[in-house]
A and B are shown apart, each in its own frame.
Chain A
Amino acid sequence: MLTFLGKRALAAVPVLLGVVLLVFLILRLIPGDPAQILLFGTKATPERVAELHQQLGLDRPVVVQFLSFLGDLLHGDLGYSYSSHGPVIDEIAERLPYTVNLAVGALLVALLVGVPTGILGGLKPGSVVDKAATAFSVLGLAVPYFWLAQLLILLFAVHLGVLPALGVGGTAALVLPSLSLGLGFAAIITRMLRAALIDVYSSPYILVARAKGLSSGRVLVSHAMRNAASSVTTILGLQIGNLLAGAVATEVIFGRPGLGNYLVQQIGLKDVPTIQGIVLFIAVAYIVINILVDAAHGVLDPRVRKAWAS
């Protein structure tokens, strides 16, 4: 298991280097001079602009800029924000909890809704319950989360007035964002779990388990679910990127002061170090989560562990 984690972490290094290079290049290629934006509203004389360029190191050749950025990165230094002048790492740390709360909330919604409906559908395919579960998952997949967010705001915040639409006022404020981001993933889990269970239940080992006299509950919990879960985790791992992207947009819609919202603001300001920092952070998070998901897959399925060993 440890060698597996080590191998995967090592394999992630080139990927991260690629991400660093890409982010760096894109930010230099898109139009707009950070100095001009920083000086917006003041008298931006050519001297002031040149001075700022020098301060920010933007007067150096691009290759030198890249190498110095990379060098700082190796020391864990993400640089200083152009707009707030604080260390980018602090800016990230300050906003991260709001994003993590949202992602965890959405994941909880996805699991609490998706797992039971997936089980109901998978246990009795073709039944009324299954049809309802399928209808839910089709709807959940078809409705974009940003539109769902607006519907939820209209219903619960505007009409019923029971939940806050905006801001960060504790758990209540987390409900609507989590629902709008999580329900789509719930739909994916429902579909995957249903398909996985139908497949698992057609296996001889389920018949053999029943032939041992186990109750249907025991068969589900101790024989079927572990097999189904291992295929669902794989799919879930592939969806982590979408979850992160969705979190960015959801934060903007609900005005949550998380990383995603901050990223969008700083893109407008062309705050290069901050944008680089946040994107890199998200990339690292994505890679780490994926490694963890793969590890979970190995914990669930001994055949996967065997494949690692070889």
Chain B
Amino acid sequence: MSAVAPGGEELLAVRDLRVVFPGTRPEDAAVTGVSFAMNPGQTLGLVGESGSGKSTACLAIMGLLARGATVTGSITFRGTELVGLPERRLRPLRGKDIGLVYQDPMAALNPVKTIGAQLREPLRLHLGMSRKQADERAVELLDRVGIDAPRDKLRSFPHEFSGGMRQRVVIAMAVSCNPTLLIADEPTTALDVSVQAQVLELLSDLTTDLGIGLLIVSHDLSVVAGLADDVAVMRHGSVVEYGSVHQVFQRPAHPYTRDLLAVVRELEGDPVDAGGRP
């Protein structure tokens, strides 16, 4: 893949991650013993049923978990240990080196701020752009994610956009400062089926073009199959299966993965490598 981190090291390495939310018993940890790694520019799919801890793992990486959540284990991003890193050291990474696309596009944009104002924020904060420069860059970004008449759209409010357009804006915002890692938490779940494919294609194109590592979360194996290099299957807070897409789809080791695959095949009425990479 394109971009290579200094020293050729891993982009992201999560080792033995464990998250316990306040008010829950330690044995009910939302995430426990989770490990995976990504190389620069690589795409990793995180799959699992609702409540399996996918979002929790993603937010732990960005240090955005609810107050009081106990995080143990290790998360290294380009060689920097993120677990225990103080807020003031994490903040410069958020939105700059790590972008987030969140699961519910209808609610991911602030309803009372214009699209332009929301796009300008990270540009001015991280890249020190003037308002004018940020506007120019915002127009480029909107154009890049496939929004028509981008200049006029800067003054629009989120409620004037469809779900698919909003998710495109969120994606534009997430990649605006050229991150090396993009975390997309169920980016298409809330969208119409026809729009889902377009948004996935956009994500795939963008990350490939810009050499961004993509951590994509889904409860749908077929979504991940088309995009990812590697897959981690989560259940009850743990990773039950981890390997290359090919490996996991051809020789699923865990019965849960086999069940997931069976569902995909049933839905698509296709043989084994439905949606899988050649």
Known: A226-B112, A302-B112, A303-B157. A211 touches B91 (CB 8 A): no
The yes or no answer to B218 lying at the interface (CB within 8 A) is no
Query: For B16, what are the chain A residues with a Cβ–Cβ distance below 8 Å?
Result: none
Chain A residue nearest to B125 (CB atoms) is A213
Bound together, the chains give a CA A227 to CA B113 distance in angstroms of 10
Kindly list chain B residues whose C-beta atoms are within 8 Å of the C-beta of A124: 67
Is A207 part of the binding interface, using a Cβ–Cβ cutoff of 8 Å? Answer: yes
Is B46 positioned at the interface, with any CB of A under 8 Å from its CB?
no
- B contact residues, total (Cβ < 8 Å): 32
Cα of A6 to Cα of B111 in the assembled complex, Å: 26
Asked whether any CB of chain B lies closer than 8 Å to the CB of A143, the reply is: no
CB pair A302 B100 closer than 8 Å: no
B-contact 0/1 string along A218-239, CB 8 Å cutoff:
0000110011001000000000
Q: Do B159 and A208 touch (CB < 8 A)?
A: no
**A300, CB-defined interface residue at 8 Å:** yes
Residues of A near B92 (CB, < 8 A) are: 213
Interface of A is mostly: helix
State in angstroms the CA–CA spacing of A215 and B91 once bound together: 7
Q: Which listed residue (B67, B96, B112) contacts A213, Cβ 8 A? A: B96
Assess whether B113 is in contact with A213, with CB atoms less than 8 Å apart.
no
Q: Which of B62, B107, B110, B125: most chain A CB closer than 10 A? A: B110
Which residues of chain B are within 8 angstroms of A211 by Cβ–Cβ distance?
Answer: 62, 64, 94-95, 98-100, 102, 174
CA distance A227 to B67 in the complex (A): 21
Asked if B96 and A302 make an inter-chain contact with CB atoms under 8 angstroms apart, the answer reads no
Determine whether A155 belongs to the interface, using a CB cutoff of 8 Å to chain B: no
User: Is B108 at the interface (CB under 8 A from chain A)?
Assistant: yes
Kindly provide the distance from the CB of A103 to the nearest chain B CB, expressed in whole angstroms.
28
The verdict on A209 contacting chain B, using a C-beta distance below 8 Å, is: yes
Knowing A212-B94, A212-B125, A303-B159, the reply to whether A204 touches B104 (Cβ < 8 A) is yes
CB under 8 Å from chain B, chain A span 240-269: none
Kindly state the separation between the CA atoms of A211 and B170 in the bound complex, as whole angstroms. 11
Rounded to whole angstroms, the CA-CA distance of A204 and B185 in the bound complex is 12
Closest Cβ–Cβ distance, residue B62 to chain A (whole Å): 6
Report B30 CB to chain A, min CB distance, Å: 16
Interface residues of A in 113-160 (CB under 8 A from B): 124
- Does A43 lie at the interface of the complex (its beta carbon under 8 Å from any beta carbon of B)? no
Tell whether B241 is near chain A: CB-to-CB under 8 Å.
no
* A301–B114 CA distance with the chains assembled, in angstroms: 11
In this assembly, does B10 line the interface, its C-beta being within 8 Å of a C-beta of chain A? no
Interface string of B157-187 (1 = CB under 8 A from A): 1010000000000100110000000000000
How far in angstroms is the closest Cβ of chain A from B242? 25
A205 within 8 A of B: yes
Interfacial residues of chain B within 93-126, with CB under 8 A of chain A in the complex: 93-96, 98-100, 102-104, 107-113, 121-122, 125-126
Interface readout for B230-255 with A: 1 if CB under 8 Å, 0 if not? 00000000000000000000000000
Greatest chain A CB density within 10 A among B95, B112, B159 is at B112
Q: Closest CB-CB distance, A230 to chain B, in whole Å?
A: 7
Are the C-beta atoms of B102 and A213 separated by less than 8 Å? no
- Give A52 Cβ to nearest chain B Cβ, in Å: 60
Chain A interface size range: 20 to 34
Q: Which residues of B contact A65 (CB under 8 A)?
A: none
Docked CA distance A68–B149 (Å): 61
Q: In whole angstroms, how far apart are the Cα atoms of A125 and B183 in the complex?
A: 29
A54 interfacial by beta-carbon distance below 8 Å? no
Judge if A56 is at the interface, Cβ distance under 8 Å.
Answer: no
A161 to B: closest C-beta gap in Å: 47
Closest to B106 in A: A204
Judged by a CB distance under 8 angstroms, whether A214 is at the interface is yes
Q: Which residues in chain A, 280-310, are within 8 Å of chain B measured between CB atoms?
A: 300-303, 306
* Residue contact A300 to B64, C-beta cutoff 8 Å: no
* Nearest CB of chain B from residue A119's CB, rounded to whole Å: 16
**Chain B residues in 8 Å Cβ range of A215:** 91
Residues of B within 8 A of A101 (CB): none
In the complex, residue of chain A having the shortest beta-carbon distance to the beta carbon of B96 = A213
Contacting residues, chain B, for A209 (C-beta < 8 A): 110, 121
Contact (Cβ within 8 A) A214 B125: yes
Interface contact B94-A210, CB-CB below 8 Å: yes
Closest A-chain residue to B117, C-beta based?
A222
Which residue of chain A has the shortest Cβ distance to B68 in the bound complex? A126
How far apart are the CA atoms of A306 and B112 in the complex, in Å?
12
CB contact between B157 and one of A203, A230, A302 (< 8 Å): that residue = A302
Interface centre among A203, A205, A212, A300 (most CB of B within 10 A): A212
- Would A230 and B112 count as touching, CB distance under 8 A? yes
Give min CB distance, B141 to chain A, whole Å: 13
Residues of B within 8 A of A214 (CB): 91, 95, 121, 125
Q: Can you pick out 9 interface pairs between chain A and chain B where the beta carbons lie within 8 Å of each other?
A: A124-B67, A205-B110, A211-B62, A211-B95, A212-B122, A213-B91, A213-B96, A226-B113, A303-B157
4 A-B pairs closest in CB distance: A213-B95, A212-B95, A211-B100, A213-B94
